Structure 1
């Protein structure tokens, strides 16, 4: 029997599950650190994925609760793409990654875990980042804790638009 210890998951397993959409943010910023919100724009925001595929896995989401990209006003889609662009610059600068997967899973058949509220994923990648763990044992390793990554990335979003 194989065992992989992940004691931080107990918080999610035993904790209360949200009744509301996890991407519908409250108007106040009080919970931003707890929710891992990195940046709030006028029409969209940047948030870290609590269950990432890789360190630095972040998402860009509109404030509007919509399933389809076609249901967003053009102004919202423009801000989202500006944020996706900005995030690629920040991830490259901070993580020195060799690539970035950028994707939108629109609809359940496309793999959307939370299909009701569209969101773009940005996942930093490095050559060989899966290493032998994923190949031999279908396991990924996360070398840095989410809170530490949040603390490291947050200043990039606070310093303004000069990173774009």
Structure 2
């Protein structure tokens, strides 16, 4: 028998039209706003900057070390990327997986995109690739029943670990 957990709060997300909850307003996506803020990387949790692409910690992580890799330019779909952005994006995803493995030694890693609001994209106007370290048995009753997650370290600590790992695994000009 299939157990069901009521999640009526999701109805508003599914039925509401585009709004601020899609992470975008007149000033651009939350990522565009982050980049234009002028705040230091230590404050914004940016862990790597390339020529066309950067990596930043997810401030609502599934687990410690959850990184987003995205182009500086705000685009919604893979087909909107230039060839150079596509090349750097995927090279940076690969390097981010290496950095996450080095910093966290997970049992596995999830890599994925949610393209479009219906696909679960929380910021559908600014394409971003999730890199999520995973451990055997890392899902528990807190996320399944209590709609809560437990994270064992602060974002600042995660960012420091990942910056160090990027430094060990990436060429300086990457």
Q: The TM-score by the shorter chain falls in which range? A: 0.7 to 0.9
1:46 to 36, 55, 71: 55
1:84 to 1:111, Cα distance in 2 relative to 1, 3 A: same
Partners of 1:90 and 1:123 lie apart in 2 by: 11
Query: Normalising by structure 2, what TM-score?
Result: 0.76
1:55–1:142 Cα contact (<8 Å) kept: yes
**Deviation per CA, 1:65-114, whole angstroms, max 9, x where unpaired?**
11011011111011000010001111111111011111111100111100
| Corresponding pairs, count | 146
User: Displacement, 1:31?
Assistant: 2.3
1:21 to 10, 29, 45: 29
The residue number in structure 2 matching 1:146 is 155
The residue number in structure 1 matching 2:87 is 78
2:105 to 96, 100, 104: 96
Partners of 1:97 and 1:52 lie apart in 2 by: 15
User: Displacement, 1:160?
Assistant: 5.8
Query: Normalising by structure 1, what TM-score?
Result: 0.80
2:76–2:124 Cα contact (<8 Å) kept: yes
Partners of 1:79 and 1:131 lie apart in 2 by: 35
Q: Which runs of 5+ in 1 are unaligned?
A: 1-16
Range 125-134 or range 99-108, more displaced: 125-134
Range 104-113 or range 127-136, more displaced: 127-136
| Aligned-residue CA RMSD (Å) | 2.3
Partners of 1:110 and 1:133 lie apart in 2 by: 24
Q: Please state whether the residue corresponding to 1:66 is helix, strand or coil.
A: coil
User: Displacement, 1:18?
Assistant: 9.7
